[in-house]
Structure 1
Amino acid sequence: MNREDQKRAPIYEALEKFRKQRVVPFDVPGHKRGRGNPELVELLGEKCVGIDVNSMKPLDNLCHPVSVIRDAEELAADAFHAEHAFLMVGGTTSAVQSMILSVCKRGDKIILPRNVHKSAINALVLCGAIPVYVNPEVNPKLGISLGMEVPCVEQAIKENPDAVAVLVNNPTYYGICSDIRSIVKLAHAHGMKVLADEAHGTHLYFGKNLPVSGMEAGADLAAISMHKSGGSLTQSSILLVNKGVNADYVRQIINLTQTTSASYLLLSSLDISRRNLALRGEESFAKVSEMAEYARNEINNIGGYYAYGKDLINGTSIYDYDVTKLSIYTLGIGLAGIEVYDLLRDEYDIQIEFGDICNILAYISIGDRTQDIERLVGALADIARLYKKDKAGLLSGEYIAPKVIRSPQEAFYAEKKSLQIRETSGCISGEFVMCYPPGIPILAPGEMITDEIIEYIIYAKEKGCSMQGTEDPAVEHLMVLV
């Protein structure tokens, strides 16, 4: 395909044609182009509810595409330099789970870093695969886990030659990249597939001077969050497949869990966003990189904060860095990241992506403007001036290496009892505990609960992190194996 082909948006074009036909609907959805729900029309507009339609012959079907959706997927594959692309309407959670379920079955081993998104471990609960964790090095100051080091992956492969796949975060939420090219070569040499979780890496396929993308590095499958840095609607993503993978089988796996009533609002947003990135992505992400670097310099000039970037690169645990990520260490002004997050929202009307124990992340994308960056920098300077305090007593670190006792599936479905959190030391967790965002589990089913983990959970709660994953909404009790 060429650039002219990328100017097409088959799903969007089919919807526009359909809209002009004024077809009388005796199908679902029941709001009938909004007539049955005027409040919805008021909120979203007539044009939006008018194209919230069901699959039909002229609009194709996501479960078994043969026309406009198939064309849109072929254009997406071409734009991302993949062999095949699947449009996903269940978010990147669905894409991550589909790629794991495509290569793993019950009892199979998969090598992965422990700082994975909960969707990856949820996939292990679903299929019964066994995790082999490559525990990443932690930056002791920033309290963040780094990338997988190639010698550590090599050791895991040698110790587990029967493993079927290696999963790599490319990049992490904080912008840190492993040497994915070398990991791919190593895994392929031992007959293992490589899966790239690129929830935070859509732009790597279009920007210049950014870390290598999963497909370019030779990964077999990659999950892409188009709605994060790609500009599509929330919950819309893409699953990319490289040469040598049976795409028809992957489609069957996707159809095990994906809705049979795919939203055409999400599908058309993927179609339009892919076209936008294919035609204008390079210049758009050049501006994003420029804005993020400008913000990084301005924030580092305030004093107390540390907006980190390429200066972290060490060629091993931080093989490369995604400069579009504006990750900022806040303990230097005596405030936990989540406290700065709350202040920015409550006092300055600025909503950032997340705050953890040590850091905040401001997500810079194609929709940002320089004046927004200025406002963020000004607010951070103000917070440093007004709220700075001694950092004594503040915890650092968001990663505690786990001890896996039972497989996630075994533990999730085992008989369990509820204990007050301080009584659980030495028990095996039967559920997840995590701060969301970023959604990296502090505890996963099957892992040993320690005093250190208990203190961390209580501290994160006290600081105001949004805790999730437990049956108890207040996270005062944990379900443990009997």
Structure 2
Amino acid sequence: MKELSQERAPIYEALERFNKMRVVPFDVPGHKRGRGNPELTRLLGESCIRLDVNSMKPLDNLCHPVSVIREAEDLAAEAFHASHAFLMVGGTTSAVQSMILSATRRGEKIILPRNVHRSVMGAMVLNGAIPVYVNPEGNERLGIPLGMSVEAVKKAIQENPDAKAVFVNNPTYYGICSDLRAIVELAHANHMLCLVDEAHGTHFYFSDKLPLSAMDAGADMAAVSMHKSGGSLTQSSLLLTGPAMQEGHVRQIINLTQTTSGSYLLLSSLDISRRNLALRGKEAFERVIELAEYARKEINQIGGYYAYSRELINGDSIYDFDVTKLSVNTLDVGLAGIEVYDLLRDEYDIQIEFGDLGNILAYLSIGDRSREIERLVSALSEIRRRFGREKGGLMKQEYIDPRVAVSPQDAFYAEKESLPLMETAGRICSEFVMCYPPGIPILAPGEEITEDILHYIVYAKEKGCSMTGPEDAAIERLNVLKGV
């Protein structure tokens, strides 16, 4: 086998070689290296548009890689401690769905927390798997769901010994990690696979000061958002697999849904970003940790805000905490998280990752600098002074236990009817309702609609949360199962 060197970037190098050739394009894309679309060339730049090319022998093929893409996959696997790494151009949504489609079939059970990304539910709609939810504990002060306790996972496994896999978030959007190694060992002891949504944990592989990564915990598959904390282009991701997974089978599953026209801009960004992290990631994330800890200290000194961290660790449902996640509770300032989110953008030209009913998340990574941190801290201080009010009347974001009545697939494809939102209590939902980001469904197909859920949706809409999912974009009506 060819010796690997993390200083290589084989896809990028192949594109550089190709760019020096005078190849006449009688293939797609139709802009023909930008000549057919001058406005697009001006927007993206000539060097970028010239590298927007199609698969060909010198550049390999994403569906069946044998040369430069294959070498890039091998390098990524080495850098991320995996048996194999697949380059994904459909985002981590595609990677998560490929994990579930690889591990389960119609009618088979998968054990998972309810606070998963919509891509998990989407995968179950596609293949007919049955969710067995482990209801996460909640933090009363923050109003957020936590990780899965080991005992709760053990109970779910005992009650569902025929389940095929256990699914874990590592970390949650807020930075909270479960005891991943213990859950992996539990799953394997019961002949189940362990699948990990590591969308927000790319950096775990490059620092011993951060929580344990999925591959180092022995997980069978992990979906990693390189474009989040890893620095690649939006929509580029990695799917990592352990030794128990058959590479050929997983690739067949990926090829069911992933494009046959993989973007070389995305692929080369994965290649270059992997090289950057492999060579400089440890040092880079040391700096990110320092910035986050400094920001947390400064924000907590403002008063009212609570930028939480490792003090939450309880050894189980909060087994560890990702200190690079600058999660801040806003309720004691008298403002919902989404209100602070809007104020930061509209009044201070600061775009943070998301705001929910009680929290905001400022996403810190390798591109951040001290001056931006100072600007964020200053803006939060001013928001408290200018817009802060009494806490009374604010609703916490609370975890609402789902009542699963029908499988997600059966509900999504069942005969349905549209009803006014407030007339749907007691009915079975046939579509998704979620705030995005983070994209965790409030309702998923097959779940009973309750009064608590309806009040939550109405309140979130009033506060300005970006609600997505239903056919009715205004979310004044919901689709429910007909006659159920």
| TM-score category of the 2 structures, normalised to the smaller one | over 0.9
Q: Is the 8 A contact 1:89 1:267 kept in 2?
A: yes
Q: Is the 8 A contact 2:4 2:75 kept in 1?
A: no
Equivalent residue runs for 1:286-305 within 5 Å = 286-305=286-305
Cα offset, 1:244, TM superposition: 1.5
Deviations 1:440-470 (A, max 9, x none): 0000000010000000000000000000000
2-structure distance, mates of 1:414, 1:293? 49
Cα offset, 1:347, TM superposition: 0.2
Q: Is the 8 A contact 2:352 2:362 kept in 1?
A: yes
Partner of 1:378: 378
Matched, 1:402 2:402: yes
2-structure distance, mates of 1:32, 1:452? 55
Partner of 1:225: 225
Partner of 1:193: 193
Matched, 1:84 2:104: no
Partner of 1:126: 126
2-structure distance, mates of 1:466, 1:3? 48
Which amino acid is 1:75 matched to?
L
Q: Secondary structure at the match of 2:6?
A: helix
- TM (norm. structure 2) is 0.99
Partner of 2:49: 49
Which amino acid is 2:10 matched to?
P
Give aligned pairs, total. Answer: 482
Cα offset, 1:140, TM superposition: 1.4
Matched, 1:146 2:146: yes
Name the Cα RMSD after superposition.
1.0
Which amino acid is 2:172 matched to?
T
Q: Is the 8 A contact 1:325 1:362 kept in 2?
A: yes
Cα offset, 1:398, TM superposition: 4.0
Q: Is the 8 A contact 2:430 2:480 kept in 1?
A: yes
Q: Secondary structure at the match of 1:282?
A: helix
Q: Is the 8 A contact 1:175 1:322 kept in 2?
A: yes
Deviations 1:245-285 (A, max 9, x none): 11110000000000000000000000000000000000000
Which amino acid is 2:321 matched to?
Y
Cα offset, 1:130, TM superposition: 0.2
1-structure distance, mates of 2:2, 2:195? 28
Q: Is the 8 A contact 1:201 1:213 kept in 2?
A: yes
Q: Is the 8 A contact 2:421 2:478 kept in 1?
A: yes
Cα offset, 1:201, TM superposition: 0.3
Cα offset, 1:38, TM superposition: 0.2
Which amino acid is 1:231 matched to?
G
1-structure distance, mates of 2:319, 2:171? 10
Equivalent residue runs for 1:174-189 within 5 Å = 174-189=174-189
Identity %: 73
Equivalent residue runs for 1:138-287 within 5 Å = 138-287=138-287
Partner of 1:460: 460
Partner of 1:323: 323
Q: Which ranges of structure 1 fall in alignment gaps of 5 or more residues?
A: none
Q: Secondary structure at the match of 1:6?
A: coil
2-structure distance, mates of 1:320, 1:51? 42
Partner of 1:438: 438
1-structure distance, mates of 2:196, 2:203? 14
Q: Is the 8 A contact 1:140 1:397 kept in 2?
A: no
Cα offset, 1:157, TM superposition: 0.1
Cα offset, 1:139, TM superposition: 0.7
Which amino acid is 2:457 matched to?
I
2-structure distance, mates of 1:437, 1:140? 22
Q: Is the 8 A contact 1:3 1:279 kept in 2?
A: no
2-structure distance, mates of 1:399, 1:378? 32
Matched, 1:352 2:352: yes
Q: Secondary structure at the match of 1:266?
A: helix
Which amino acid is 1:81 matched to?
H
Partner of 1:473: 473
Cα offset, 1:399, TM superposition: 2.0
2-structure distance, mates of 1:447, 1:391? 32
Q: Secondary structure at the match of 1:360?
A: strand
2-structure distance, mates of 1:140, 1:23? 63
Cα offset, 1:141, TM superposition: 1.4
Q: Secondary structure at the match of 1:7?
A: coil
Q: Is the 8 A contact 2:138 2:145 kept in 1?
A: yes
Q: Which runs of 4+ in 1 moved over 3 A?
A: 1-4
Cα offset, 1:182, TM superposition: 0.2
Cα offset, 1:198, TM superposition: 0.2
Q: Is the 8 A contact 2:417 2:481 kept in 1?
A: yes
Cα offset, 1:2, TM superposition: 11
Deviations 1:177-215 (A, max 9, x none): 000000000110000000000000000011221000000
Deviations 1:67-105 (A, max 9, x none): 000000000000001000000000000000001000100
2-structure distance, mates of 1:381, 1:338? 16
Cα offset, 1:3, TM superposition: 10
- TM (norm. structure 1) is 0.99
2-structure distance, mates of 1:399, 1:292? 27
2-structure distance, mates of 1:416, 1:163? 29
Inter-CA distance 3–285: structure 2 relative to 1 (3 Å threshold): farther
Q: Is the 8 A contact 1:408 1:444 kept in 2?
A: yes
2-structure distance, mates of 1:410, 1:293? 46
Q: Is the 8 A contact 1:73 1:84 kept in 2?
A: yes
Cα offset, 1:391, TM superposition: 1.4
